[in-house]
């Protein structure tokens, strides 16, 4: 990477991080809402642990994987909305008039998602452990959970950038949020895949990548070190990131029609 490109990424990343930290309206809901749902679900569904084959006797431990995914979905909205606002206000045109590399723009914008992902992961995990959740993989597992959470947050953030570049409006980005949430609900969010009895739901959840991302978190929380589950989780996060960045790069070329 050339010095210029590194400088550009660094400066845009700095801006993205500053923007994220200066908007409590982005950070607070992304922290509070998933934890609220965690409290509700772990209280209301705790009897599910008595089902034969349920992997743990603590529903809180099982459910603690979900906030990491919900937090990642917030990054779709936050990263995408920020970029869409740049398009709406003409800030993207300002950037386009500089010798800016497209990849630097996308990379810099995702830096905000990294910070948000870090803060979210640490808060979710800390609150979960304080509330009594297990962490079978120990301190090392906690670090991997944070790393996986950040990876997924960045991957979903790239999808947000794509939607922003395609649509050019913050409203369109925010309109995608419920669709991503449906993806979460149609997964093994509430029960392990093996215990989903309804055929169509089991089929959908089985092909839903979110189920395997949840499984990677749960492996560290419940089992300890399951390298297969972890590798699949990171691979899916990497694939979503690759697809998101490829789509966002293509959309950026269309959006930035500078000669």
Partner 1 sequence: MASRELGIEVEGLVREFKNGPRAVDGIDLAVAPGEIYGFLGPNGAGKSTTVLMLTTLLPPTAGAARVAGFDIVKQGGKVRSAIGAALQEAALDPLLSGSEHMRLQTALHGLPKAERSERSAELLARVGLAEAAGRKVGEYSGGMKRRLDLALALAHRPRILFLDEPTTGLDIQSRTALWDEVAGLAKEGVTVFLTTQYLEEADALADRVGIIDHGRIVAEGTPAELKAEIGRPTVEAVPRDPADRERVAKALAHFGEDCSEAHRGGASVLLAGGESQLADVVRALDAEGIAIERLQLHAPSLDDVFLAKTGRSLEGAGGGEADEPGSEEMEAVGTP
Q: What angle do CA 133, 42, 29 make, to 5 degrees?
A: 90
CA dist., res. 124 & res. 109, Å (int): 23
Please state, in angstroms and as integers, the Cα–Cα distance from residue 192 to each residue in 37, 74, 132, 175, 212, following that order.
18, 24, 20, 29, 10
CA dist., res. 242 & res. 173, Å (int): 20
What's the closest the beta carbon of residue 21 comes to partner 1, in angstroms?
A: 9
Q: Is residue 19 at the binding interface for partner 1, with CB under 8 A as the rule?
A: yes
From residue 90 to residue 119, what is the string marking binding to partner 1 with x (rule CB under 8 A)? xx-xxxxxxxx-------------------
Among 11, 126, 203, 206, binds partner 1 (CB under 8 A): 11
CA dist., res. 149 & res. 210, Å (int): 12
What's the closest the beta carbon of residue 102 comes to partner 1, in angstroms?
A: 13
Q: Is residue 254 at the binding interface for partner 1, with CB under 8 A as the rule?
A: no
Select from 148, 132, 128, 150 the least CA-distant residue to 140.
Answer: 148
What's the closest the beta carbon of residue 78 comes to partner 1, in angstroms?
A: 13
Q: Is residue 186 at the binding interface for partner 1, with CB under 8 A as the rule?
A: no
Number of residues that bind partner 1 (CB under 8 A): 27
Q: Is residue 24 at the binding interface for partner 1, with CB under 8 A as the rule?
A: no
Select from 5, 176, 25, 10 the least CA-distant residue to 109.
Answer: 10
What's the closest the beta carbon of residue 72 comes to partner 1, in angstroms?
A: 23
Contact region with partner 1 (CB under 8 A), list: 3-11, 34-42, 138-146, 166-174: 3-11
For partner 1, the closer of residues 22 and 52 by Cβ is 22
Q: Is residue 8 at the binding interface for partner 1, with CB under 8 A as the rule?
A: yes
| Residue 50, CB-side half-sphere exposure with 13 Å CA sphere | 3
Q: Is residue 257 at the binding interface for partner 1, with CB under 8 A as the rule?
A: yes
**Quick check: 75 and 153 in contact, CB under 8 A?**
yes
What's the closest the beta carbon of residue 169 comes to partner 1, in angstroms?
A: 16
From residue 31 to residue 70, what is the string marking binding to partner 1 with x (rule CB under 8 A)? ----------------------------------------
Tokens of 206: 């089985």
Question: Helix axis angle, 138-167 relative to 170-185, nearest 10°?
Answer: 140
Per DSSP, the residues of 166-179 read: HH--HHHHHHHHHH
Tokens of 75: 């990054």
Among 1, 28, 40, 89, binds partner 1 (CB under 8 A): 89
Q: Is residue 258 at the binding interface for partner 1, with CB under 8 A as the rule?
A: yes
CA dist., res. 82 & res. 19, Å (int): 9
Chain positions contacting partner 1, by CB under 8 A: 4, 7-8, 10-12, 14-15, 18-19, 22-23, 86, 89-91, 93-100, 257-259
């Amino acid at each position: 990477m050339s010095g210029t490109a590194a400088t550009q990424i660094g400066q845009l990343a700095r801006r993205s991080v500053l923007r994220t930290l200066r908007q409590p309206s982005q950070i607070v809901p992304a922290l509070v809402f998933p934890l609220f749902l965690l409290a509700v679900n772990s209280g209301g569904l705790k009897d599910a642990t008595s089902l034969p084959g349920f992997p743990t006797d603590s529903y809180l431990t099982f459910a603690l994987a979900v906030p990491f995914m919900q937090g990642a979905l917030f990054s779709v909205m936050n990263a995408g909305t920020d970029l869409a606002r740049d398009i709406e206000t003409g800030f993207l045109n300002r950037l386009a008039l500089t010798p800016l590399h497209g990849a630097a723009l996308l990379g810099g914008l995702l830096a905000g998602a990294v910070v948000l992902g870090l803060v979210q992961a640490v808060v979710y995990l800390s609150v979960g452990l304080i509330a009594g959740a297990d962490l079978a993989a120990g301190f090392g597992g906690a670090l991997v959970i944070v790393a996986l959470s950040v990876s997924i947050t960045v991957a979903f953030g790239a999808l947000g950038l794509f939607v922003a570049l395609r649509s050019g409006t913050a409203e369109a980005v925010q309109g995608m949020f419920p669709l991503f949430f449906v993806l979460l609900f149609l997964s093994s969010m509430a029960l392990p895949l093996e215990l989903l009895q309804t055929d169509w739901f089991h089929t959908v959840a089985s092909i839903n990548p979110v189920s395997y991302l949840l499984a990677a978190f749960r492996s560290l929380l419940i089992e300890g070190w399951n390298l297969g589950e972890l590798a699949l989780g990171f691979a899916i996060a990497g694939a979503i990131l690759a697809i998101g960045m490829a789509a966002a790069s293509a959309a950026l070329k269309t959006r930035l029609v500078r000669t």
